[in-house]
Amino acid sequence: MKDVERYEIENPAIKATLRDIAQKIGSALPAGWGFLLHLFEFGTEDNPGATFYISNADRADAVRMLRAWIAKQEPSIDGEVNPDHPMTLGVRQQWHKIVALLLMRSGPASFSSDDFAALGAANVAVAVDDHHDTLNVRLVSAAEAQRLAAAEQQEGR
């Protein structure tokens, strides 16, 4: 397995369990399939507990897969529905210019922790697209964000 050697697992029982399970999963999968297995200790919000993983994939591929999976699980303002899309990547690189343009149009803004909590509870996402050299930014429901992302993927964009 590729990534089990990245760090030494201090718990010999967990290490043996991970290797045994990984061997069984790896030998049962058809060619071209990868896996990532996380074992974790139940914890609390303040102390999340230990976590260990094993995979037959390169770490970068596993991280990319996890990000895509998390984005699909939590389509909201806190997560990106389509994180590897060129538009998302471009907006992420230019976020400060987009905020500056919004502030130029609307004036100064202040946000409290209550504002951030309300935004999280609103279950919305930011949709960005460009038409005729114009960047369009709007809030949509999480469901609409999922629909838009699926349509983009179907169209191969």
Compute the average pLDDT of residues 58-84.
Answer: 74
Could you list the residue range(s) of the whole structural domain that residue 142 is in?
76-157
**Model confidence pLDDT, tens digit, residues 128-154:** 888 888 889 999 988 888 888 888 877
- Identify the CA nearest to 3 among candidates 38, 47, 79, 54: 54
**97 inside domain:** yes
**110 inside domain:** yes
**51 inside domain:** yes
How many domains does the structure of the chain reveal?
2
Helix (H, G, I), strand (E, B) or coil at 30: coil
**114 inside domain:** yes
**Do 52 and 87 belong together in one domain?**
no
| pLDDT at site 8 | 59
* Boundary residue ending a domain (57, 86, 105): 57
**134 inside domain:** yes
**Do 52 and 80 belong together in one domain?**
no
**Model confidence pLDDT, tens digit, residues 35-50:** 998 888 888 878 777 7
DSSP string, 54-102: EESS-HHHHHHHHHHHHHHH--STTS-SSTTSHHHHHHHHTHHHHHHHH
pLDDT bin (cut points 50, 70, 90) of residue 100 is very high
**65 inside domain:** no
Record the pTM: 0.47
DSSP 110: -
Compute the average pLDDT of residues 105-112.
Answer: 92
**14 inside domain:** yes
**Model confidence pLDDT, tens digit, residues 60-70:** 888 888 888 87
- Identify the CA nearest to 125 among candidates 60, 81, 73, 62: 81
Is the model more confident about 27 or about 69? Answer: 27
